Amino acid sequence: MPVDTSENDESRAPDGTPWWELSIQPGTKAKRFGQERRLAAWLWFSKSVGDTFTMRELRAALGPDIAEDAEHLNRRLRELRKCDWAIPSQRSDGTLAPDEYRLQRKGARLWLDGERAKHNRFAPSLRIRRLVMDQDGSRCRICGLGADDTYPEDGERVRLTIGHLVPQERLTSRGARDDLSNWRTECSRCNETVRDEIPDPERLDEVLAGLKRLTGNEARELLSWVRKGERPRSRVDQAYDRARRLSEPDRAAVIEHLAKRVGENG
């Protein structure tokens, strides 16, 4: 799509610079003009809905100061998705090449202060992140895996983050505040912002086949978890979360104590 260069060109900032080439926010002396803003502007004015683009195009368009790391740009694209943009990759659209994306829907015009303000999010501090993870025993509330665990399907180490119980957009529409009670610990694969990036989603027939091996009590327990959308942690889970953070000598003392309690002779 050709870029309009007339006086009424909305693709340009007040000084005439294309929004995606700005480094300093208009009206300020040193405040940086963020990469998400630049990325959104370039996509809005340079691509039509249905068009595809590549990482190489993004780097060329946004200039030499853009990070060369593809994962960095991937994170920026995921941030746009939170602001009503739809940008599938090959992982969710098999017709795309590995380094290709499709502009499926244009979202908020983040280079404009008024629209960006509508999508401002409460960003949790390190203190809040620590509080949330402590209250959840440093375990994902959805799948139950902890920071020291690995994923059973591929052995990759679990990485924890925090996510929302109620999406911020829904809270905003209700006029409600986002606070500590609305956060929970999630692993990176269960987290809502990257759930569509998981390369090999589960198949229903394989899951159902595994359910046949469950006992009646196990099936009832699983039913309650699936209905709630998370795995509640029992007193045993909570005790384990505390014990596993002890030093090795202290863990040995816990093992000795439990062995005596259950009647093991060593």
Contacts of 4 (CB under 8 A, 6+ apart): 10, 11, 45
Do 244 and 148 meet the contact criterion of CB atoms below 8 Å apart? Answer: yes
pLDDT band at 195 (very low <50, low <70, confident <90, very high): very low
Nearest to 3 by CA among 44, 32, 56: 44
pLDDT tens-digit readout, 146-182:
887 888 777 788 888 888 776 665 655 555 556 677 7
- The vertex-195 CA angle with 141 and 87, nearest 5°, equals 150
| 211 vs 209: CA distance, rounded Å | 5
- CA distances for 93 relative to 48, 80, 157, 163, 199, angstroms: 18, 18, 27, 25, 11
**Of the candidates 104, 108, 112, which has an alpha carbon nearest to the alpha carbon of residue 87?**
104
Q: In whole angstroms, what is the distance from residue 42 CA to residue 110 CA?
A: 11
Contact 16, 34 (CB under 8 A): no
pLDDT at 191 over 80: no
| Cα dihedral sign, 180-40-34-74 | positive
Residue 228 burial (CB count, 10 A): 11
Those residues whose C-beta lies under 8 Å from the C-beta of residue 99, and which sit 6 or more positions away, are 54, 55, 56, 70
Summarised one tens digit per residue, pLDDT across range 112-146 is 887 776 666 556 778 888 888 888 888 898 888 88
Give the Å distances, CA to CA, from 58 to 17, 23, 47, 63, 68: 17, 16, 12, 8, 10
Q: Is the pLDDT of residue 45 over 90?
A: yes
Is the overall model pTM greater than 0.75, yes or no? no
Question: Which residues, 6+ apart, have CB-to-CB distance to 135 below 8 Å?
Answer: none
Cβ–Cβ < 8 Å for 25, 73: no
